[in-house]
Chain A
Amino acid sequence: MSSTVDQRRTSIYGKLLRWGCLLYLGVVLIFPLSGVVLRAVSAGPSRIWSEVTNPFAWHAIMLSLSTAIVMVLISVFTGTATAWVLARYEFPGKGLVNALVDLPFAVPTIVTGLMLVAMFGPTSTLGVVLSGFGTPVIYEQSGIVLALLFVCFPFVVRSVQPVLENLDPAEEESAATMGASRWTIFRRVTLPALFPSIVSGAGLSFSRALGEFGSVVMVAGNRPMSTKTAPLYVYGEVEGFNMEGALAVSLVLLTCSLVSLIAVSKWAERQG
């Protein structure tokens, strides 16, 4: 392992280590993945297609995609604003906010869901007020977006913040000396520099949001054709022993998630 003096020939220990690793990877990841693919192939494309186009499954997939997109659109603004404020300004409580940005990654998702129900749910003051305005959040589709906003909060912030901190101030300063307004400087100088990191944060958020389960279980109410997202649908089908139905929707989710991740990373590569 350690004596990889030359890269062409690996020692016997190195080979043992490699095969040990691959075996572990196989048992935990590669064999289960191949099992799913084999099962899908043996079910046949027409069965898979009919499971995906079943109205309940289709609604669940569309709900997952649309809530994820709405979340990303909001998160792009709030995340960039948070990163901006943390990188540029001094204000009381900044250290606390900066440390707590990562909290959604650390807190178990089911606890996240429970927190949101405690704050916005029908038994809370805020929940009663929201229902009074005719816009209850928890157990509605807007609750799903709220949960996704919480869970994905750190992605955009943490991908934009370091770029903003390492940005050369010279460009912004020279734009200012040439008489550009703050807004023009932001739009023409700063934003283009931040854009790749915003997109990569958005891509990560989207992929994560598609698969989110624990927090959505708590806030969504799990009503078919209304608040049942694709991961909830997959869980329901597994419980009902309809493995093909679960498999079909899983394949769609997995494809969307991988395509968004790969597209973003390819795009970022092309941007240099």
Chain B
Amino acid sequence: MKPPKPQLQNTMTWPQRFLIIAVLAWFGLLILGPAVALARRAFAPGVGAVFKALTDPDAIEALLLTAKITVVVTISNTIFGIAMAIVLVRQRFWGRRIVDGLLDLPFAVSPVIAGLMLIILYGPKSTIGSRLESFGFPIVYHLPGMILAGMFVTLPLVVRSVAPILEEIGSDQEDVASTLGADWWTTFHRITLPTIRWGVAYGAALVVARSLGEFGALLVVSGNIIGRTQTATLYVHDQIESFEPHGAYVMSIVLATVSFCILVGLETIQNSVRRREYAAEAKEDGQGPIRQMRRH
């Protein structure tokens, strides 16, 4: 904790103190309190019970399925996100603005509606779905449908964290590289990728968090078959429905801990980017980075 600034503390009036206390109270009641209440419920029956709930075969199965979906969705949407950002920023083509606008649609769509969209197009009763099923490749109520649902809800995340960086750095360095005879792959992994890597990491972390916690879309497309299409979030729901809340509490603590770690990771990424920017700025000003930071 930084030492409080004395002049601020001295001039703080009672209404200001009241405002701070009110905000802290609201934050505690709405955000911190519920988090603590959940942890207390999970650990109330003792560590042995927590361990037992964690080693329940259905719980392990569900965590493994969540991990599988998250890995596939993250890899595939990260590759897509980088490519799509490059296409949107570096190319001009008919319909570019439409594509740009459509990309944000998953932010506006309820996860349940996302699931509904996938069922209507790829469900066993649809033309495409029944055709694929007869080829032995069913989608909805099976793993591919759940992966598709994860891809849908996390589609814009990497694009939106990479595109602004690409726009800001411009294409000068890439142009120089290709003028010097570098092929597109060399230019990409020696020039473009190093400059966007923090953006990619940030976007990918968001994808991981979002697909770990996705519930609505998965509930609709999974059919929720225990041991086959039950993810960690669906397990939580199922345990509550079958009046076994302790399993749900423990699984929720696992999910909340992982998402908290991702949050800390994101914070670290942001800080390191900010530090680099300070350093770059300082170099331009001919001042040391430390002095710069103090000025801010």
Residues of A participating in the B interface, judged by any CB pair closer than 8 Å:
1-5, 7-8, 10-11, 13-14, 17-18, 20-22, 24-25, 27-33, 35-36, 39, 78, 81-82, 84-85, 89-93, 95, 97, 99-100, 102-112, 114-116, 118-120, 124, 146, 149-150, 153, 182, 207, 210-214, 217-218, 230-231, 234-235, 238, 243, 246-247, 250, 253-254, 257-258, 261
Assembled-state Cα–Cα distance A146/B30 (Å)? 8
* CB within 8 Å of A: which B233-249 residues: 233, 236-237, 240, 248-249
19 A-B residue pairings within 8 Å (CB atoms): A1-B87, A1-B188, A5-B179, A7-B91, A13-B184, A25-B80, A36-B120, A82-B26, A100-B32, A108-B212, A108-B215, A110-B252, A111-B259, A207-B108, A211-B113, A213-B110, A234-B110, A238-B116, A246-B116
Which of A25, A99, A217, A235 is the one whose CB lies under 8 Å from B99? Answer: A25
State how many residues of chain B have any CB contact under 8 Å with chain A. Answer: 96
Which B residues are in CB contact (< 8 Å) with A253? 110, 113
Instruction: Please state if B110 and A231 are interface contacts (CB–CB under 8 Å).
Output: yes
In the bound complex, CA of A35 to CA of B122 (Å):
9
Which residue, of B84, B177, B215, has the highest number of chain A Cβ atoms within 10 A? B215
Contact A90/B5 with A2-B191, A85-B23 known, Cβ cut-off 8 Å = yes
CB distance from B233 to the nearest CB of A (A): 5
Q: Taking the complex as formed, is B19 at the interface, i.e. its CB lies under 8 A from any CB of chain A?
A: yes
- Enumerate chain A residues within 8 angstroms of B121, measured Cβ to Cβ: 31-32, 35-36
CA distance A235 to B224 in the complex (A): 13
- The proximity string for B residues 178-193 relative to A, scoring 1 for CB distances below 8 Å and 0 otherwise, is 1100001001100110
The verdict on B152 contacting chain A, using a C-beta distance below 8 Å, is yes
In contact, A21 and B84 (Cβ under 8 angstroms): yes
Kindly state the separation between the CA atoms of A47 and B83 in the bound complex, as whole angstroms: 41
Q: Is B20 an interface residue (CB 8 A)?
A: yes
Contact check, B263 vs A119: say whether CB atoms are below 8 A apart.
no
B49 at the interface (CB under 8 A from A): no
Residues of B within 8 A of A30 (CB): 102
- Closest chain A residue, CB of each to CB of B182: A2
| Interface residues of B, dominant DSSP | helix
Quick one: which of B84, B87, B188, B248 contacts A114, CB cutoff 8 A?
Answer: B248
In the complex, what's the smallest C-beta–C-beta distance from B43 to chain A, in angstroms? 12
Does B131 belong to the interface (CB within 8 Å)? no
Inter-subunit contact B20/A5 (CB<8 Å): no
* B213 A103 Cβ-Cβ under 8 A: no
**CB distance B110 to A82 under 8 Å?**
no
**Which chain B residue lies CB-closest to A112?**
B34
In the complex formed, the residue of A with least CB distance to B6 is A90
A207 to B107, CA, bound (A): 9
Residues of chain A contacted by B108 (CB below 8 angstroms): 207, 211, 254, 257-258, 261
Task: Looking at the assembled complex, report how far the CB atom of B270 sits from the nearest CB atom of chain A, in whole angstroms.
Answer: 10
Q: Nearest chain B CB to A220's CB is how many angstroms away? A: 13
Chain B residues lying within 8 Å of A21, measured Cβ to Cβ, are: 80, 83-84, 87
Query: Which residues does chain B contribute within 8 Å of A261, judged by CB atoms?
Result: 108
Which among B12, B109, B216 is the interface contact of A89 at CB below 8 angstroms?
Answer: B12
Extra contacts besides A2-B191, A211-B109, A254-B108 (8): CB < 8 Å: A3-B174, A5-B178, A25-B80, A103-B35, A106-B213, A107-B256, A214-B213, A238-B116
